[in-house]
Chain A
Amino acid sequence: MSSVRVLVGTKKGAFICTSDGARRNWKIDGPHFGGWEIYHVKGSPVDPNRLYASQSSSWFGQVIQRSDDGGTTWAPVGNEFGYASMPGTHQWYDGTPHPWEFKRVWHFEPSLTDRDTVLAGVEDAALFKSTDGGTTWSEVAGLREHASGKDWMPGAGGMCLHTILLDPTNPNRMFVAISAAGSFRTDDGGTTWKPINKGLISNFMPVPDAEVGHCVHRIAFHPSRPATLFMQKHWDVMRSDDAGDNWREVSGALPSDFGFPIAVHAHEPETIYVVPIKSDSEHYVPDGKLRVYRSRKGGEDWEALTNGLPQQDCYVNVLREAMAIDTLDDCGIYFGTTGGQVYVSPDSGDNWSAIGEHFPAVLSVEVQTLA
Chain B
Amino acid sequence: MIRVVLPYHLRNLARVGAEVEVEVEGAEHATTQAVLDALEARYPVLRGTIRDHHTKERRAFLRFFACGEDISFEPPDAVLPAAVAAGDEPFLVVGAIAGG
A residues at B contact (CB < 8 Å): 35-36, 57-63, 76, 79-80, 82
Contact = CB atoms under 8 A, between A and B. Distances in A.
Given A59-B59, A59-B96, 7 more contacts: A35-B8, A36-B9, A58-B61, A60-B59, A60-B95, A79-B48, A82-B53
Interface in B31-66: 45, 47-50, 52-54, 59, 61-62
Centre residue among B8, B10, B49 by max chain A CB count within 10 A: B49
B45 A63 contact: yes
14 contacts: A36-B9, A59-B59, A59-B62, A60-B9, A60-B10, A60-B50, A60-B59, A62-B48, A76-B13, A79-B48, A80-B47, A80-B48, A80-B53, A82-B53
Interface in B61-100: 61-62, 95-96, 99
B96 to A, nearest CB: 7
A63 B12 CA distance: 13
A79 B96 CA distance: 22
Nearest to A77: B45
Contacts of B99: 58-59
Contacts of A79: 47-48, 53
A57 B59 CA distance: 11
Contacts of A82: 53-54
A60 B49 contact: yes
A57 B10 CA distance: 11
Interface residues of B, number: 19
Nearest to B59: A61
Contacts of B9: 35-36, 57, 59-60
B40 to A, nearest CB: 12
A60 B45 CA distance: 11
A35 B7 CA distance: 13
Nearest to B49: A60
B22 to A, nearest CB: 18
Contacts of A63: 13, 45, 48-49
A36 B12 CA distance: 11
Contacts of B95: 59-60
Contacts of A57: 9
Nearest to B61: A59
Sorted from nearest, which 3 A-B pairs have the closest CB atoms?
A: A60-B49, A59-B61, A76-B45
Contacts of A36: 9
Contacts of B62: 59-60
Contacts of A62: 48
Contacts of A61: 48-49, 52, 59
Centre residue among A36, A58, A80 by max chain B CB count within 10 A: A58
A20 B49 CA distance: 38
A132 to B, nearest CB: 15
Centre residue among A35, A58, A60, A79 by max chain B CB count within 10 A: A60
Contacts of B10: 60
Nearest to B53: A80
Contacts of A60: 9-10, 13, 49-50, 59, 62, 95
A63 B44 CA distance: 11
A57 B60 CA distance: 12
Contacts of B47: 79-80
A62 B54 CA distance: 14
A72 B53 CA distance: 29
A59 B49 CA distance: 8
Contacts of B7: 59
Nearest to A36: B9
A210 B8 CA distance: 47
Contacts of B61: 58-59
